[in-house]
């Protein structure tokens, strides 16, 4: 029944996915009706209008978030997806907001995180409506616009709307995520040194968001003379070769410009990327430059916090991971933001205490944002119900998973992350040439229709 609907409407479904991908819904300065900028507001408007065209009830909560509703009753289950995306970044083969289809894949920022899954659950609801499937509980699709930043969207939404009795977020992978690590973003500030004899780092910048492994970092070093600059650039190039760092360097008079190219990845899996900030620090730390000891320290940081003494693995949610997401030199101070995903049996206070003891006294550390770990009982009804749906479609019995990711499942009671990435498929969120295979996208509509129906009857 649902499969026939998907086949019948396939061109329209894919076209709507492409139109949503074409909206550059990166958070920016507020506009009237759009507290997170014009792009996110446009994305929400498009989704709600699409639902209204099929005579479903919708609501826009002051431009912060919105919902599409199906069914009747006071209590409801929620499916929470986000329409905002991280900046496109560099290194794309395809236009990041083009929705290009090639070799069975649809490319674009947000294809799998999280615009594609948002369209999957929306079309699943359309299919249920057309098939006349009316479960016991009301179903509400909630679309947030600030998931990649501060979650102000849902904070605002639930000041005006009641919370559901349960639900899921299609923002991770199958089969199901029942536990998520805690997340802490820390800011480290270090005074810039002004050493008269050493070459001076005049400019430093890297990264765009805390939750993305930075793919580019840049620095400009004042060597005080062109001769010294030419000597130093030779040392930098040799160091980069020895360290296997992708470095572009250029001499401009007495200045040396350095650019390191890494590889972007989601901050929950920093080991999948190459951190350009850390690599540039490694190169700078090989020469006599200002803040040399700082560069050597940062250059020693790994993805698991070993050199900061915070490495830990609880055996369930996995090892602590750390991403140096952004760095800059501004107003005589270096500022670095670390995004840390820590195991469920660790606390943020323990992290801060340990790191404070490891870092030099003149380095200042502050907690910028924090989310506690999430853990749902693996025997809960929501877990059993959705795992049964997974088994029905994938014909395999595997245990639910844990993740270092942070999903909207944390925002409501009795919720987990369910899909949308299929087993064995690569994690492409926050990376260049993000895509979703069209066959998986279309199949997920059937999966989510069944999941929403069963969950709305079970809770």
Give the three-class secondary structure for 320: coil
Using 50, 70 and 90 to split pLDDT, how confident is the model at 197? Answer: confident
Q: What is the DSSP letter of 294?
A: H
How far is it, in rounded angstroms, from Cα 51 to Cα 293?
57
Respond yes or no on whether the N-terminal peptide bond of residue 40 is cis (omega within 30° of 0).
no
How far is it, in rounded angstroms, from Cα 401 to Cα 179?
7
DSSP letter for each residue of 401-436: EEES---GGGGSSSEEE--EEPTT----TTSTT-EE
Q: What is the DSSP letter of 36?
A: T
pLDDT digits (tens, 9 = 90+) for 411-445: 999 999 999 999 999 989 999 999 999 999 999 99
Q: Which residues contact 300 (CB under 8 A, 6 or more apart)?
A: 307
Question: Which CATH architecture fits 183-371?
Answer: 2-Layer Sandwich (3.30)
pLDDT digits (tens, 9 = 90+) for 82-122: 999 999 988 999 999 999 999 999 999 999 999 999 999 99
pLDDT digits (tens, 9 = 90+) for 312-342: 999 999 999 999 999 999 999 999 999 999 9
Task: Name the burial class of residue 22, with classes exposed (0-12), middle (13-18) and buried (19+) by CB atoms within 10 angstroms of its CB.
Answer: middle
Q: Which of 202, 325, 349, 342 is nearest to 275 (CA)?
A: 325
Active-site residue set: 84, 147
Q: Which of 240, 61, 301 is nearest to 158 (CA)?
A: 61
378 and 400 Cβ atoms separated by less than 8 Å = yes
How far is it, in rounded angstroms, from Cα 27 to Cα 145?
8
Assigned CATH for 2-180+375-458: 3.40.630.10
| pTM of the entire predicted model | 0.88
Same CATH topology for 2-180+375-458 and 183-371: the answer is no
Domain-wise residue ranges, the chain:
2-180+375-458, 183-371
How far is it, in rounded angstroms, from Cα 443 to Cα 321?
32
Using 50, 70 and 90 to split pLDDT, how confident is the model at 128? Answer: very high
Strand partners, 102: 105
């Amino acid at each position: 029944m649902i499969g026939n609907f998907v086949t019948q409407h396939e061109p329209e479904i894919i076209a709507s996915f492409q139109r949503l991908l074409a909206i550059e819904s990166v958070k920016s300065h507020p506009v009237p009706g759009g507290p997170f900028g014009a792009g996110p507001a446009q994305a929400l408007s498009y989704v709600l209008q699409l639902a209204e065209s099929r005579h479903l009830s919708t609501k826009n909560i002051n431009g912060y978030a919105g919902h599409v509703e199906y069914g009747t009753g006071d209590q409801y289950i929620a499916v929470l997806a986000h329409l905002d995306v991280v900046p496109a970044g560099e290194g794309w083969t395809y236009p990041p907001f083009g929705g290009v289809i090639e070799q069975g894949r649809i490319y674009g920022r947000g294809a799998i995180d999280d615009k594609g899954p948002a369209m999957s659950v929306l079309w699943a609801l359309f299919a249920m409506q057309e098939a006349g499937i009316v479960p016991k509980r009301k179903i509400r699709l909630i679309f947030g616009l600030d998931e990649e930043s501060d979650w102000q969207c849902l904070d605002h939404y639930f000041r005006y709307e009641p919370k559901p009795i349960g639900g899921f977020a299609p923002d991770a992978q199958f089969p199901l995520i029942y536990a998520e690590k805690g997340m802490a973003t820390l800011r480290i500030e270090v005074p810039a040194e002004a050493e008269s004899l050493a070459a001076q780092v005049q400019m430093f910048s890297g990264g765009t968001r805390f939750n993305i492994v930075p793919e580019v970092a840049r620095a400009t070093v004042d060597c005080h003379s062109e001769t010294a600059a030419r000597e130093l650039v030779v040392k930098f190039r040799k160091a980069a070769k020895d360290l296997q760092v992708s470095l572009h360097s250029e001499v401009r008079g007495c200045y040396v410009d350095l650019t390191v190219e890494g590889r972007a990845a989601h901050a929950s899996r920093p080991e999948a990327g190459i951190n350009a900030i850390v690599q540039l620090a490694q190169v700078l730390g090989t020469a006599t430059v200002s803040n040399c000891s700082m560069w050597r320290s940062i250059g020693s940081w790994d993805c698991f916090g070993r050199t900061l003494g915070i490495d830990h693995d609880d055996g369930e949610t996995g090892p602590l991971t750390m991403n140096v997401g952004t760095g800059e030199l501004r107003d005589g101070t270096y500022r670095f933001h670390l995004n840390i995903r820590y195991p469920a049996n660790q606390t943020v206070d323990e992290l801060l205490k340990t790191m404070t003891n490891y870092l030099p006294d003149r380095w200042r550390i502050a907690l910028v944002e924090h989310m506690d770990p999430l853990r749902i009982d693996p025997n809960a009804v929501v877990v059993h119900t959705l795992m049964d749906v997974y088994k029905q479609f994938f014909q395999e019995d595997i245990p639910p998973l844990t993740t270092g990711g942070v999903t909207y499942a944390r925002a409501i009671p009795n919720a987990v992350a369910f899909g949308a990435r299929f087993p064995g498929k690569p994690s492409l969120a926050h990376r260049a040439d993000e895509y979703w295979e069209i066959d998986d996208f279309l199949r997920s509509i059937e999966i989510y229709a069944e999941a929403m129906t069963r969950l709305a009857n079970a809770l």
